[in-house]
Chains A and B, each alone.
Chain A
C-alpha cells in the first residue's frame, strides 16, 4: 500500500514544485461539417464543437478536485481549417468568419484556447491554403482564443519556400495589426516542420487528418519537479543525474496518463496520447533554463548548454515512455524565452543569443519559441530565420517550429509584456545581414536524400 512518504512527495510536487497537467486537449474532426454554403458550414462547426466539448470544463474541474492535481488549461484542436473551409470560402474574409465561429464555440464550452486555424502546405499550397494564410492577421486580431499554425516543411517533402516567404510577410502584417498591444497576437501563430497530428500544446495544436472523430490528448508539465529532484543530487555524476531525471519524468508522466484516462472515461472520448513535454511557466522555479543551471551551467546559453539539453530531453523521454501506453505530440523539453524566467534572465545577462537557441532546437522538442525580435526586422529576414529552423527539422527528421514576435515600434533593449502564462520577453537582436535574394528565388527546397527510404 501507498505510504505516507510517497503521499507527501506527490503533494509536495504540487504545492512547492508547480506540478500540474498543463492541458487537456480534445481533438475534434470537423470533416463531417464540410458544406459548400458558408453559413451552413459555420453553423455545423459551431454545433459540432459545442456538442463534443460541452463537458470539457466541468470534467477538467472534477478531475482536478478528485486527484488534487491542477489542470491549467482545457483546450480544443480541430481539423486544419484550410481543408474544412475549402469548399465554402472564396476569399480570406470568408475564412475569417470560421475563426469567429471557433472563437464563439470555445467561449461557449469554456475552452481557454482553440487551435486548428491551420494549413498544411509543406509541398504546395492550394487556393484555400493560400486564402487561409492571407486571412491569418485579420482572423487572429478579430478573435481571442483562436490559434493558428502552418506546416511549411517536412522530411518527406522538403521546404515550401514560397510559403516560407509568405509567412514572413504575414507575420509582419499580424504584428502591425496588433501593434497597439505590443504585437501580442503573433504569439497565437506558429510555423512548423514535421508538425505532429496529435500535439495538445498551443499555438500549434490541430486535429490531424490521420486522427479519429474525437480524441483526448494530454500535455504534462513539470520542470519545477525535475529541478527540485536534481537539487537533491548536486555534485553527483551524470549517471546519477540521468537516473534522477528518468525517475522524475516517469512520475510526472504517470500523472498525465491517469488524468488522460479519466478524462477519456468521463467524456466518452477515446484517449489519444500523453505529450511528455517539460513545459515551463514564468512562475519562479518552473523553468527549463533553471534545470540546465542545476545541471551545472551558470546560465542557459553557456558552452555546454546544447549537450546538457540533449541529455535532459533524452532522459525525459526514456522515463516518460515507460509511464504511458501512448506517447506522442511534441514530447521533449520546451525552450520558450518569454514563458521561462530562467531563459529571460539568460537573455538579460547576455548569455544566450538567437543563434544559440537555434542550436538548442536541434536536440529538443519544438524550436524558436516565444522570441520577441525588433519590429523593424525585414520580412525576408524573418523568412530566413524560419527557413533555417525548417531545415533543422527536415534534415534531422524531427519537429521544429518558429513562434517569433516582431514587436512593432520596439527594438533591442525594450521589453514586451504578454501577460499570464505567456510572461514577458526582452527583445533579442537579429542578424542584420540580408538574405533577400535567397528568399525571393521562390520554389521549394527538395526533400533530403535520407527521406527516400522506400
Chain B
C-alpha cells in the first residue's frame, strides 16, 4: 500500500456536461497522478463525482495541482476540489 499521506480526494460538483471526467483525467494523467477509485452520482440534478488519487510521483506540487484543477473547473463550469484524504479518514473512521 502506498503512503496514505500522498492520497487526495478530488470532488467535482456542477451541471452535467459532456467530457467532465475526460478533462479531469487527462489533466491528472499528464501530471502523473494515479487514479485509485472513481465514484459518480447525480444529486438533485447535479453531477457529483469523487476520485481517490495517489499523488506519490506526481509531476506537480499539491498546491499547483489544486490550481490546475481550479482552472479546468472554471473553464467547464463546475466546482473542483482537491483535498488531502487524511481529513476524511480522520472524520469518518474511528
Whether a CB of chain B sits under 8 angstroms from the CB of A238 is no
Q: Main SS of the interface on chain B?
A: strand
- Tell me the minimal C-beta distance from A9 to chain B in angstroms: 8
In the bound complex, do residue A67 and residue B37 qualify as a contact, i.e. CB atoms below 8 Å apart? Answer: no
Contacts of A148 in B (CB 8 A): none
Chain B residues whose C-beta falls within 8 Å of the C-beta of A67 in the assembled complex:
83-84, 86-87
Chain B contacts for A394, CB-based, 8 A: none
Q: Note all chain A residues with C-beta closer than 8 A to B66.
A: 65
How far apart sit A62 and B90, CA to CA, in the bound complex (Å)? 18
- In the bound complex, do residue B9 and residue A7 qualify as a contact, i.e. CB atoms below 8 Å apart? yes
Which residue of chain A has the shortest Cβ distance to B52 in the bound complex?
Answer: A1
Chain A residues with CB below 8 A from B88, complex form: 2, 6-7, 10
Q: Assess whether A4 is interfacial by the CB under 8 Å rule.
A: yes
CB contacts (< 8 Å) of B63 on chain A: these are 62, 65-66
Q: A251 contacts the other chain (Cβ, under 8 Å)? A: yes
Once A2-B9, A11-B11 are accepted as A-B contacts, the answer to whether A68 and B91 lie under 8 Å apart by CB is: no
Q: Which of A9, A10, A251 has the most CB of B within 10 A?
A: A10
Distance in angstroms between the alpha carbons of A10 and B86 in the assembled complex:
12
Judge whether A3 and B39 touch: CB under 8 Å. Answer: yes
Query: Would you call A7 and B84 a contact (CB within 8 A)?
Result: no
User: Size of chain B's interface in residues, with CB distance under 8 A?
Assistant: 27
Inter-chain CA distance A7–B91, complex, in Å, is 10
With a cutoff of 8 Å between Cβ atoms, the chain A residues found around residue B84 in the complex are 66-67
Stretch from A96-104, A253-261, A384-392, A407-415 contacting the other chain: A253-261
Interchain CB contact (< 8 A) of B81 among A9, A68, A322? A68
Residue contact B87 to A69, C-beta cutoff 8 Å? yes
Which residues of A have CB within 8 Å of B76? none
Q: In the complex where A4-B41, A66-B84, A68-B83 touch, is A10 in contact with B52 (Cβ < 8 A)?
A: no
Chain A residue nearest to B84 in the complex (CB): A66
Which B residue's beta carbon lies closest to that of A66?
Answer: B84
CB contact list, B45-82 vs A, under 8 A:
48-50, 52, 62-63, 66, 81
Closest residue of chain B to A13 (Cβ to Cβ) is B91
| B91→A254 contact, CB < 8 A | yes
Contact of A10 among B40, B41, B48, B91 (CB under 8 A): B91
Q: Which residues of B lie under 8 Å from residue A251 when comparing CB positions?
A: 91-92
Q: Which residues of A contact B36 (CB under 8 A)?
A: 1
Which A residues lie within 8 Å of B86 (CB)? 67, 258
Complex CA–CA separation, A189 to B84 (angstroms): 38
Closest chain A residue to B40, Cβ basis = A4
Task: Note all chain A residues with C-beta closer than 8 A to B41.
Answer: 4
Minimum CB–CB distance for A229 against chain B, Å: 13
Rounded to whole angstroms, the CA-CA distance of A69 and B87 in the bound complex is: 9
Q: How far is the CA of A255 from the CA of B85 in the complex (A)?
A: 12
Question: Are A255 and B87 neighbours in the complex by a CB distance under 8 Å?
Answer: yes
Give bound CA distance, A34 to B88, whole Å.
44
Which interface residue of B36, B43, B63, B83 has the most chain A CB atoms within 10 A? Answer: B83
Q: Which residue of A lies closest to B49 (CB)?
A: A4
- Minimum distance in angstroms from A232 CB to a CB of chain B: 16
Closest to B38 in A: A4
Q: Is the CB of A254 within 8 A of B90?
A: yes
Closest chain A residue, CB of each to CB of B10: A7
B 23-35 to A, binary, CB cutoff 8 A, 1 in contact else 0: 0000000000000
CB pair A8 B81 closer than 8 Å: no
A7-B50, A65-B66, A255-B91 as given contacts; A2 in contact with B85, CB under 8 Å: yes
Q: A8 and B48: CB pair below 8 A?
A: yes
Q: A2-B9, A7-B88, A258-B90 are in contact. Are A66 and B83 (CB under 8 A)?
A: yes
Report the bound CA distance from A255 to B90 in whole Å: 7
Q: Cβ of B85: which chain A residues have Cβ within 8 Å of it?
A: 2
Within 8 A of B (CB), among A311-370: 322
CB contacts under 8 Å to B, within A41-75, are 62, 65-69
CB distance A4 to B91 under 8 Å?
no
Query: Which residue, of B50, B62, B90, has the highest number of chain A Cβ atoms within 10 A?
Result: B90
Interface on B for A, CB 8 Å cutoff? 9, 11, 36-37, 39-41, 43, 48-50, 52, 62-63, 66, 81, 83-92, 94
Question: What are 20 of the A-B contact pairs (CB < 8 Å)?
Answer: A2-B88, A2-B89, A2-B92, A3-B39, A3-B50, A4-B40, A4-B41, A4-B50, A6-B92, A7-B11, A8-B50, A11-B11, A11-B81, A65-B66, A67-B83, A67-B87, A251-B91, A254-B90, A255-B91, A258-B86
> With A7-B9, A68-B81 given, can you name 5 additional A-B contacts, CB distance below 8 Å?
A2-B85, A10-B92, A251-B92, A254-B91, A255-B87
